[in-house]
Structure 1
Amino acid sequence: MRNYLDELNAFQREAVLHKDGPIIIIAGAGSGKTKVLTTRIAHLMGAHGVDAFNILALTFTNKAAKEMKERVEKVLGNSEARNLYIGTFHSVFARILRAEANKIGYPNNFTIYDTDDAKSVIKTVLAELELDPAYYKPNTVYNRISSAKNSLIGPAEYINDPTIQQEDARSNRPMIGQIYAAYANRCFKNGAMDFDDLLFKMYILLKNHPDALSKYQRKFKYIMVDEYQDTNTSQYEIMKLLGAMHENICVVGDDAQSIYSFRGATIENI
């Protein structure tokens, strides 16, 4: 294994050599943030003998996840990186949810609805409730439900929250809570989750099932998150739960570069 540490500057080396305890790495574009993250993973495995199965690395695109895995393999010079849990939040959580689906009442082979599928189901619900299409457009309703899920607000909480109800009444859409409940019920009956459910249901699984929480806390001894400035409430809360046992969580980001505020990204997380 070549001496990968020689390729790092002093700050990068400090981040890579930090083994236990939480660490936040804030750096601008082009400063080698992903390099630090991948070298850190390789260092944990190569120098400290941490098993690939005990490392979780999360990012926002499949391309970034693939690149991270390839970089770790290159540094280590072996194929151990294939056993890493490296992927997007959605792909990694889908993998876990498929293994634990029965705990939350879903089949292991649940369907994952893409945005078009989800809007199609919403369209059906709107037709059944005979709501005014001038106010209740599928796109608008979908975005409202998506925002609620990313803030970890389920249908019951949505309907019982006076502030949310006031907002919907002001925009002439007082029925969104009922639509949300009907949509969630239909997805559940169809054995389906939409993209936001992959985060929302992951949170529910960990929050309501201590056995599952303990299992994944023990499994993921080291957690890394790339582009941390783009995480939303649900992603933050899941990381908080998963990292609570070992507290070996490393987040990398650029507080000047958040691009997902439209998806509920919360810059306060960083």
Structure 2
Amino acid sequence: MKKITIGNEQLSYIEHGQGDTIVLIHGFCGSVDYWEYILPLLSDKYHVIAVNLRGHGSSTYSGAPFEIEDLANDMNKLLKKLGIEQVYMFGHSLGGYVTLAFAELFGKSLKGFGLIHSTAYPDTDAGKEGRLNAIRKIQDLGIEEFVNGLIPNLFADESLITLPNEVEKAKRIGYGTNGIAAMETQAAMRKRPDRNGVIEQANVPVLLVKGTKDKVVSLDRVASSSNQNVSEVRLDTGHMSMQEAPEELAKAIRSFIPSKTLT
């Protein structure tokens, strides 16, 4: 695990391989370990970087308030420090929100980007209330009890039976999340704007990965776009294809990069 200082935080990341750079951004209460099975399936052909967001994994959290845009700026500063000009960026769930903010703010740094079980829509009123409930639960019960309730809903029902070790692994990863950072992240997600326009106006390839059994992001809540640069892949998974079907997710990413690059 490598570490780099970005502002008041020390972000941890891993990198493997050579070639075009792929940046992978995990979801809420996740870490770079979410990508354990994906990394070897991509790093034989690409330079892959997976980053821990503030307060997740072994990245620090200083206690300062932040927005989704600040997390995107962390990615921008990381790439600048590493001397990398352009990348393909893929974000899972929360990571997708960061990816969309990055595309809006630093679009010239992208060769293409993708949302993995994420959405360009803002929270609904019910969703915003759910964020407040999540903050209260973390505050009242602590991060471990919150994660125990969160993780099972991320997997397809059959995966809970067939992949119990992966469910437990996801819980262990979640336990490593800083509780205060988790609450701040929920508040940041609650305030994020509608970014369908970022996808609609994208002049680089965009990949939307959807899970047909996703209980968190329904198929019709990913994005609305008629942009010809947008392609969609549906996987027979819940919200966690990187653990439920890593080969299929890696195949979707590998197919997207060479076949959809614009010249």
The structure in which a higher percent of residues are helix is 1
TM, length-normalised to structure 1: 0.30
TM, length-normalised to structure 2: 0.30
- 1 or 2 for the larger relative contact order (CA 8 Å, sep ≥6)? 1
